[in-house]
Amino acid sequence: MRQWYKYRAAYAMMEEQERGQGWKYDLVLKVRSDVELSSPLSLADFPEVARARVIYSAGDIMFFSNREVAHTLFDDILEKMAARAGNERRLLPLNYDRILRTGEGNALPLQIFPDVGPELRDALYNKLLFPHQRQGMLLSTIRKHRSALEAAHLRASQGVAVPTVSGHWRFRNDTKQFQYWKKVNRVPRDHEMCSMRHWFYHVHRAEPEVLMKAWTQPKPQLSKTRHYQHCNCEPPVCIPDGWPTPWPEVKQRPPP
């Protein structure tokens, strides 16, 4: 999550530059420092970026928007992120109209949903395990059970305890990520926030609305020299074969 504090500082520097030069930039691009691009960016691959309230996003790795959208999302991002800190199992409000307009990508399965039955659990789990083979399954399940989902959110807002479900590996002991981090005693605690989940949610709750679109071209690749020491989402079994960076030794920490 520390990257968002760094990004807000960089955004403030951009604002200072704009004040000094007397004009604002048209577009804002964020690229994480451990990313490599196979070819230059072309505006033709982002047809709505200059004129619409959209942001093209590759998870929390890269995103691209116009200046107005950037102001909506990043002027108060730290306050919004901090306000959501706490229990990661907590059911946050979801706008199902926006979800159905946005689509399945960009960390939607990582969100916390009311557990309204086995169909939703199956759709969430399979969306992460088979992201391409099961295209459309999660959205169709949300449409089918939308009334039950929204009723559960209403009960939660009234203080009623509502059972929840998520496709996030940290809540699923059947995933290789969970099993690895359990073995080394580094399963994220409930107060430790997931950057990708909260980035999606931040855009999801933006006012006025911002539509998140999947990144187009070129596809970003993580650098083979990236630093893994603080990563708790990619155990060694997730790293491509042949990468030269060794997995650092991590001291055991006491269980929560």
Over residues 38-58, the pLDDT tens digits come to 888 999 999 999 999 999 998
Strands 54-58 and 211-214: parallel
3-class DSSP state of 112: strand
CB 40, CB 70: distance < 8 Å: no
pTM (2 d.p.): 0.86
Q: How far is CA 11 from the centre of its chain?
A: 19
Indicate the average pLDDT of the chain.
86
| Res 251: pLDDT | 56
Mean pLDDT of 128-135: 57
| Res 234: pLDDT | 58
Cα angle, residue 139 at apex, residues 29 and 103 outer, rounded to 5°: 15
Residue 28 has pLDDT above 90, yes or no: yes
Residue 178 has pLDDT above 70, yes or no: yes
| Res 26: pLDDT | 98
CB 88, CB 96: distance < 8 Å: no
CB 146, CB 232: distance < 8 Å: no
| Res 227: pLDDT | 56
Token pair of 236 as six digits: 């060694």
**Percent of the chain clearing pLDDT 70 (strictly above):** 83
Token pair of 227 as six digits: 């630093």
Query: Positive or negative CA dihedral for 63, 41, 219, 97?
Result: positive
| Res 46: pLDDT | 95
Strands 62-66 and 54-58: antiparallel
- Least Cα distance to 192 among 112, 108, 88 occurs for 88
- Least Cα distance to 90 among 162, 169, 173, 33 occurs for 162
Alpha helices in the chain (DSSP H): 2-21, 67-74, 77-83, 96-102, 118-129, 137-144, 146-157, 176-183, 195-204
Spatial distance between the Cα atoms of 89 and 110, rounded to a whole number of angstroms: 11
Spatial distance between the Cα atoms of 226 and 233, rounded to a whole number of angstroms: 14
3-class DSSP state of 114: strand
